[in-house]
Amino acid sequence: MLRLNEKGIISWLLSQLALLLAAAILLASIASITFYNDWKKEAEIRAIAMNIASEIASMDLKSYPNSTDYFLPIKPYKIYLSPSYIRIERNDGTIHKNINVVVSMWVKPYIEVWKNGTDLHENLFEKYGHYGNISDYLPNEAKEDLKEEMDRICRELAACPFILDVNKPLHIEKDIIYFEDGKMDILIVSQEET
């Protein structure tokens, strides 16, 4: 008569449980690597956005005219810059998943209207007959016009952000426009045209 081999059944059951446990550990490790890579990629582009925002903010905090060139990391990213935020998109290759990071900026840079302070002052001379520097200040009437123009530029850039070319440096310049009764700081952010 046949008898059940109880040791064999227990052995088989334990081997199946061990196999199931090993498969669960393997699946968990694959999932954690995948999610960790997404987290790492998002952290990388968040750091890039924060670096750009802090470079612009530090230039805005200066109390005197100054300029710097910020070299963007050469990566396959799409970087959008507007007066109030920086958005970076990364297409993740084979998975075709976009990773977006948005960083808010508290400063209001005026982008792509003037390439530098010299262009700004020449534009002011053409428009108002004065350069707006300390020796040739603008009349007070020009202040309101200039503020309205800056607000219009900000609205346009908020609707259609400036797309940065990662192969070119970002030129950030702080300049001062002088009026009869005071001055106004302006931040110019631009890139060379091709």
Q: Where are the domains of the chain?
A: 6-190
pLDDT at 1: 47
- Residue 93's region, left for phi above 0, alpha for psi from -120 to 50, else beta, is left
Six-digit token pair at 105? Answer: 């900026």
Q: Which residues pair with 183 in a beta bridge?
A: 178
Rounded distance between C-alpha atoms, residue 59 and residue 7, angstroms = 77
Residue 156 and residue 142 in contact, taking contact as beta carbons nearer than 8 Å: no
Region 97-117 average pLDDT: 59
123-128 long-range contacts, CB within 8 A, separation 24+: 124/177
Pairing of strands 170-179, 110-111: unpaired
The one-letter code for the residue type at 183 is K
For the stretch 146-170, pLDDT in tens is 888 888 888 888 888 888 888 999 8
Six-digit token pair at 96? Answer: 């075709």
Rounded distance between C-alpha atoms, residue 172 and residue 185, angstroms = 13
For the stretch 3-55, pLDDT in tens is 556 667 778 888 888 899 999 999 888 877 766 677 777 788 888 888 988 89
Torsion of the alpha carbons at 60, 66, 67 and 73, rounded to the nearest 10: -50
Model confidence at 89, pLDDT cuts 50, 70, 90, reads confident
pLDDT at 94: 52
Q: 47: which DSSP letter?
A: H
Contacts of 147 (CB under 8 A, 6+ apart): 184
Using DSSP's 3-state secondary structure scheme, residue 49 falls into helix
Contacts of 142 (CB under 8 A, 6+ apart): 124, 127, 128, 130, 132, 179
